[in-house]
Amino acid sequence: MAASVLQSKILFISTFPPRKCGIASFTHDLVNAITNEIAEEMVINICALDKKKNADLYESPVTMVMDGHLLDSCLETAKKINKDPTIKLLCIEHEFGLFGGELGEYLLGFLSLIEKPFIIRFHTVLPSPSVKMLHIVQSIGMLADRVIVMTKNAARILKEDYQLGSDKIIIIPHGTHANSTRDSEELKLKYNLDNKHVLTTFGLLSPNKGIEKGILAMRKISASFPDAVYIVLGQTHPNLLEEEGEKYRDYLQQLIVDNGLEENVRLINEYVPTKKLMEYLTLTDIYLFTSKDPNQAVSGTFLYAMSAGCPIISNSFVLAKEMLDDRTGVILTPGKDHELAENAIRILEDPELKKEMSNNAFLKTRNTTWEKVGQKHSNLFLNILEVPLFTPELTTQYVN
C-alpha cells in the first residue's frame, strides 16, 4: 500500500460526476480511458469544481474540491497542489463559466501560483475576442505547457485571433462511445417505439438548445409520417432548474399540446446512463441538433449520435461544418426553419439514403473512440513528463 500512496499523479481540474453537466461527463469518460492506458505509470485524481458544501458528494478519484467562483478557494487549492510532491501534472478543463471573475479570470490567479506543469483544454473558443478575453486566453496560453482543442477550427482561431503559437496547440477530438450491439428494432420494442420512425435529441435541457424548432417541425413530419416520434431525452440543466425551475420544459410541453403533437413528441425527463443513451441512439432514425450557438466549438451529443450511425440534421455550427456533408447529414440554412421538416421527410422517404448517411456518419467517427482519445492523451502526458511512450504509433495532431 505504501508504494501506491507515493505513485505519481496527474490531477484533472474539472467538473465531475455526480455533478450533471457536459464537461463532467466528458471528464469522467476521458479519465476512464486514460486510466486504462497509464495505470502502471501514473494515478489520475480529480479536483472537482464545485461549492465546498458539496464536497461530501464526491468519491474516488476525486481527492479535493475547489470553488472556481471564489478567489480564496482557487488560491488555497493552488498552494495545496504545490505542496503535494506526488502531483506531477495538471490537466484543466476550461469553460469561461466554470471560474469566477469577469470571463473566468479567477483562473489566472490560480495559474499564477501553480508550480507544476499543466495542460489546458478550451471547450469553447470564440472568434473576434474582446480585449479582456484576448488578454485572458493569451495569458493562459503563455503559462500552459500545451493547449488542447477538439476541432481544427478552434485551433485556427487560437492561432489567428489570439496569436497563440502552433507549438502550444494540439488537436485531440472529443471521444465517442461504442455503439450498442443490440438490433434497432429490438430496442424500439424495448422502449415502446416499435413500428415508429424515431427522431431524437438528447442533452441537458435549456432554451439555447432550440428544442421548440424540432417540435414545430413535427407538425409537417407527422402529417407525412403519422407514426413519427420525436424523443427529447434529458433533464433540465441544473443551473436553469435552480434559477427558474421547469419553466422551459413547461413551455415545450404546452407547445406540444397546442399543436396536437401529444402522440408525436415525448419529453423524457431523465439523465440517462451511457448504456441506455447508446441504445436510444441505436434505435434513432434521424438525430436533430437544434442548438442555437453558431460558435459552439464542439458537442459530445452530436458526436455520440454520429458514432451510433445516426443521420444528422443540424443547425449550422462549427463542428457540423467540419463533420457533415451531404453523405452524412444535413446542415440547415440559418433562418429557413422549414428545411428541418423537409429534410427529415426526404430522409425517411428514402431508406437507401438513410442507410448511406448512417454508415458514413459511423465511419467518420472511427478515429474518435474513447480508447484512441485516451491513448493520445496518455502519450501527450507521458511525453511532457518525459516518460517513455508505450504506444509510439499513435501520434497526437499538432497544429502546423
φ, ψ for residue 372, nearest 5 deg: -70, -40
Judgement on whether residues 218 and 331 belong to the same structural domain of the protein:
yes
For residue 1, the model assigns a pLDDT of: 33
- What whole-number percentage of the chain has pLDDT above 90? 80
* Burial group, residue 179, by CB count within 10 angstroms (0-12, 13-18, 19+): middle
- pLDDT at 4 exceeding the cut of 50: no
For residue 393, the model assigns a pLDDT of: 41
CA gap 197, 228 in Å, rounded: 4
Judgement on whether residues 63 and 170 belong to the same structural domain of the protein:
yes
Per-residue model confidence as pLDDT tens digits over 72-128: 999 999 999 999 999 999 999 999 999 999 999 999 999 999 999 999 999 999 999
CA gap 135, 141 in Å, rounded: 10
Q: How many domains does the chain have?
A: 2
Give the single-character DSSP code of 17. Answer: T
pLDDT band at 159 (very low <50, low <70, confident <90, very high): very high
- pLDDT at 379 exceeding the cut of 60: yes
CA gap 125, 272 in Å, rounded: 28
For residue 344, the model assigns a pLDDT of: 98
**Hunting for cell 433562418 — which residue is that?**
335
For residue 388, the model assigns a pLDDT of: 56
Per-residue model confidence as pLDDT tens digits over 5-48: 468 899 999 999 999 888 999 999 999 999 988 877 789 999 99
Judgement on whether residues 66 and 127 belong to the same structural domain of the protein:
yes
Contact 12, 45 (CB under 8 A): yes
For residue 395, the model assigns a pLDDT of: 42
For residue 397, the model assigns a pLDDT of: 56
Q: What is the CATH number of the domain that holds 373?
A: 3.40.50.2000
Judgement on whether residues 300 and 351 belong to the same structural domain of the protein:
yes
Judgement on whether residues 159 and 11 belong to the same structural domain of the protein:
yes
Contact 365, 299 (CB under 8 A): no
**Hunting for cell 438548445 — which residue is that?**
209
Among candidate residues 278, 261, 280, 286, the one with its CA nearest the CA of residue 199: 286
Amino acid present at 187: L
CA gap 372, 316 in Å, rounded: 27
- Segment 174-183 mean pLDDT: 82
CA gap 88, 43 in Å, rounded: 10
- Mutual angle of helices 300-307 and 351-364, in 10-degree steps: 120
Judgement on whether residues 338 and 391 belong to the same structural domain of the protein:
no
For residue 399, the model assigns a pLDDT of: 54
Judgement on whether residues 193 and 138 belong to the same structural domain of the protein:
no
Judgement on whether residues 294 and 390 belong to the same structural domain of the protein:
no
For residue 157, the model assigns a pLDDT of: 96
Indicate if the alpha-carbon torsion angle 194, 197, 201, 207 is positive or negative.
negative
- Segment 170-175 mean pLDDT: 95
Judgement on whether residues 236 and 381 belong to the same structural domain of the protein:
no
- Mutual angle of helices 338-349 and 211-224, in 10-degree steps: 50
Q: Which three cell numbers stand for residue 163?
A: 496569436
Q: Which run of H or of E encompasses 222? A: helix 211-224
Judgement on whether residues 193 and 342 belong to the same structural domain of the protein:
yes
Per-residue model confidence as pLDDT tens digits over 286-315: 999 999 988 877 888 899 999 999 999 999
Judgement on whether residues 271 and 356 belong to the same structural domain of the protein:
yes
Query: Domain residues for 354?
Result: 184-367
For residue 392, the model assigns a pLDDT of: 40
Judgement on whether residues 360 and 305 belong to the same structural domain of the protein:
yes
Q: Is residue 139 classed as helix, strand or coil in its secondary structure?
A: helix
For residue 133, the model assigns a pLDDT of: 97
Average pLDDT, the chain: 92
For residues 66 and 325, the model is more confident at 66
- Segment 205-223 mean pLDDT: 96
pLDDT band at 178 (very low <50, low <70, confident <90, very high): confident
Of the given ranges (145-149, 163-167, 181-185, 255-259), which has the lowest mean pLDDT?
Answer: 181-185
